[in-house]
Amino acid sequence: MIGFLAAFAALLGIAAIALAALLRKRSRQLDYLHVKLNAILENGTNERLLMFDSGNRVGRLLSDLNRLLDHAHRAGARYTNQEIEIRRMLSNISHDLKTPLTVVLGYSEILLHDRSLAEREREAMTANIHEKAQEVLRLVHSFFDLAKLEAGDTEIVLTRVNASELCRLKLLSFLRHVCKPWDKAGVVYAGRRPVCHG
């Protein structure tokens, strides 16, 4: 019986030593994970957690942590891309607003300082100022519409548009400024197609 108890005590001692070694190993692994995760978070690197002989549960934890790191990296990349897009959009909006505002400023300065303008010229410039002010207002509304779309506050409604008609109208708006007066530039508005000769 004493032999049996001695053997049992020896087995129990060996099990305790093995368990203590396993706990020390797990403790070292968790310390490594803690240090490595802090380094990844502080440095903002795109590293992954790797550990040899990690066991089943620690391996699953590593896999989940790596998936979480991947998700955080993708979210950071999306955020960076959105910042770049916002800067680009603001630059475009700034340019789009600056052009008509420059025209408005130019016409208004001429109206203020050139007293020799005929009444007809003043009316034409006033009409151009009004038109450009409306263009600025349309751009501002478009900007806010885009912001609502980006935020998901507005639903996109798809409709058919006549692309050739849109192009025709846009071309006519440019031709009016480029080919003034129409008849001297040889513009022929034949039905639905404007043609600028010369």
DSSP labels, the chain = -HHHHHHHHHHHHHHHHHHHHHHHHHHHHHHHHHHHHHHHHHHT-------TT-HHHHHHHHHHHHHHHHHHHHHHHHHHHHHHHHHHHHHHHHHHHHHHHHHHHHHHHHHHH-TT--HHHHHHHHHHHHHHHHHHHHHHHHHHHHHHHHHT-S--------HHHHHHHHHHHHHHHHS-SHHHHTEEEETTEEEE--
The answer to whether residue 135 is domain-embedded is no
Asked if residue 119 is part of any domain, the answer here is: no
* 92 inside domain: no
Residue 130 counted as domain residue = no
Q: Which domain, by its residues, includes 72?
A: 2-76
Evaluate whether residue 57 is within a structural domain: yes
User: Is the residue at 112 inside a domain?
Assistant: no
Q: Are strands 187-190 and 193-196 parallel, antiparallel or unpaired?
A: antiparallel
Q: Domains in the chain: how many in total?
A: 2
Tens digit of pLDDT at every position of the chain (198 positions)? 788 888 888 888 898 898 888 888 888 888 888 888 888 888 888 888 877 776 778 788 888 888 988 998 899 899 999 899 888 888 888 888 888 888 888 888 988 888 888 889 889 889 989 988 998 898 889 888 888 888 888 777 888 989 998 888 888 777 766 655 544 444 455 454 455 554
Which residues have C-beta within 8 Å of that of residue 75, sequence separation ≥ 6?
Answer: none
